[in-house]
Amino acid sequence: MLTQEDYLNGQILLIDKPLKWSSFQAVNKLKYALINKMGLPKKFKIGHAGTLDPLASGLLLVCTGKFTKRISELQGQAKEYTGTFFIGATTPSYDLETEIDQTFPTEHIDEALIRETVKQFLGEIDQKPPVFSAIKKDGVRLYEHARAGVEVEIASRKTTIHEFEITRIALPEIDFRVVCSKGTYIRSLAYDFGKAMQSGSHLTALRRTKIGDYDVKNAVDVTYFEQSLGLDQASSE
């Protein structure tokens, strides 16, 4: 059973973030629970080590107290994702946040082409972040530019794909598993993958399964964590 002092000295909480929650919402919910159920001071430190989009689920590492100093170290670790590409159509956001804007032929796509295309994305690659992302350009987040209809030039970045495995092919859907470096956008990978096959693609499902040696199998959802704090309190009284 963790005490108030344990959280202040520092903990790494493995949280399984649900769909449609922002990472900020998840951290706020945990902070509120720790303040109200563990009596932690309102200004105690808490933060996450790597954002997950609202349309993605999975592992969110949340650091408390003195362990917030480890956030940048944890952010630098390799990450594993699983998910689904929808082949033959693109969206402006490269995922389901926006509606399909273009469709493309898929008749030429078969398993051999899919598996051959995977090889193009292994190792260090150049990748452009999606226009719907939180990166700042001229002091404004890209998604704010995009929603305002303002076109901006986005520079490509170096990123590394350590592993890229196709786990299911049921066109127009392809399931995958990817292990990648910090700063990789799986939405951009979906878009670029479709383009490399002379078609289009967007991301329809995404789950972060690992960060370094931390595994989502050992994570708990926010509600369970909150309830367990209540149980801890009850058993200690």
- Bridge partner residues of 138 (DSSP): none
Question: Which residues does residue 90 pair with via DSSP β-bridges, in sequence order?
Answer: 102
Distances (CA, A) of 35 to 30, 62, 69, 230: 9, 15, 20, 12
| 61, 70 contact by CB (below 8 A) | no
Question: CA angle, 93 as apex, 87 and 96 as ends, to 5°?
Answer: 60
pLDDT single digits (tens) 144-177: 545 555 566 667 889 999 999 999 999 999 999 9
Share of the chain above pLDDT 70, in %: 87
The pair of structure tokens assigned to 235 is 């058993």
Q: Where do we find the tokens 């002092």?
A: 5
- Local structure of 186: helix, strand or coil: helix
Cis geometry, peptide bond prior to residue 105 (ω within 30 degrees of 0)? no
Residues with a catalytic annotation lie at: 53
Question: Is the separation of the CB atoms in 159 and 184 below 8 Å?
Answer: yes
Average of per-residue pLDDT across 6-35: 94
Taking only the tens place, the pLDDT of each residue in 116-153 is 999 999 999 999 887 755 555 555 555 554 555 556 66
Query: CB within 8 A of 49, min separation 6: which ones?
Result: 61, 62, 63, 70, 71, 74, 75, 211
Please give the structure tokens belonging to residue 233.
């309190």
Convert the pLDDT of each residue in 72-115 to its tens digit: 999 999 999 999 999 999 998 899 988 999 999 999 999 999 99
Q: What is the mean pLDDT of the chain?
A: 89
Phi, psi of 207 (to 5 degrees): -140, 125
Residue 154: left if φ>0, alpha if ψ -120 to 50, beta else—which one?
beta
Residue 95 near residue 190, CB atoms below 8 Å: yes
* DSSP H or E run through 194: helix 186-196
φ, ψ for residue 161, nearest 5 deg: -100, 110
Distance, C-alpha 82 to centroid of its chain:
10
Q: What is the pLDDT of residue 133?
A: 57
pLDDT of residue 229: 83
Q: Identify the pLDDT of residue 233.
A: 43
